[in-house]
């Protein structure tokens, strides 16, 4: 069995977006993270089954992966906690993130599969601040 590609980390409700990206050879992390709002709207026009919300999530996760080196499942967790950009991550504190993740886990009544420690949260925020300053 081959290694997983970036798009393989997305659940089945992203099947239309994954299919579009595969058909159009948009599987490169660099290309996905650089999609503009215009590009996302054009994709939705070409493939109406793709939702703008899912396209934006894929782009945000690609940016987190590329810029801050956060795995797709962890980036998806941040999105579900309301952290949707490098800027919002850089303005957060580890305590806020820990509370948001805990709140999400309690509301969903599940424990996240990845081991997210306080030190890891600090590392993400530090990298996000470095990336945000370089913009």
User: Domain boundaries in the chain?
Assistant: 7-68, 71-135
Average pLDDT over residues 66-94: 94
Whether the CA torsion 88, 100, 113, 105 is positive or negative: it is negative
> Burial level of 9, CB count in 10 A (0-12/13-18/19+)?
middle
Q: How many CB atoms are closer than 10 A to CB 12?
A: 6
Q: How many angstroms separate the CA atoms of 111 and 101, rounded?
A: 9
Checking if the pLDDT of 19 tops 70, the result is yes
Reported as a single tens digit per residue, the pLDDT across 28-60 is 889 999 999 999 999 999 999 999 999 999 999
Checking if the pLDDT of 2 tops 70, the result is no
> Burial level of 58, CB count in 10 A (0-12/13-18/19+)?
buried
């Amino acid at each position: 069995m081959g290694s997983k590609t970036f798009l393989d980390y997305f659940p089945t409700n992203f099947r239309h977006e994954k299919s579009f990206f595969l058909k159009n050879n948009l599987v490169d992390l660099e290309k996905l993270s650089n999609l503009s709002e215009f590009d996302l709207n054009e994709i939705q026009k070409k493939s109406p089954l793709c939702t703008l919300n899912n396209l934006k999530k894929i782009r945000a996760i690609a940016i987190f992966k590329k810029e801050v080196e956060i795995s797709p499942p962890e980036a998806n967790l941040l999105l579900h906690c309301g952290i949707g950009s490098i800027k919002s991550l850089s303005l957060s504190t580890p305590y806020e993130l820990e509370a948001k993740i805990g709140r999400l886990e309690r509301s969903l009544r599940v424990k996240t599969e990845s081991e997210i420690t306080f030190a890891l949260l600090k590392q993400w925020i530090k990298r996000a601040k470095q990336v945000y300053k370089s913009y």
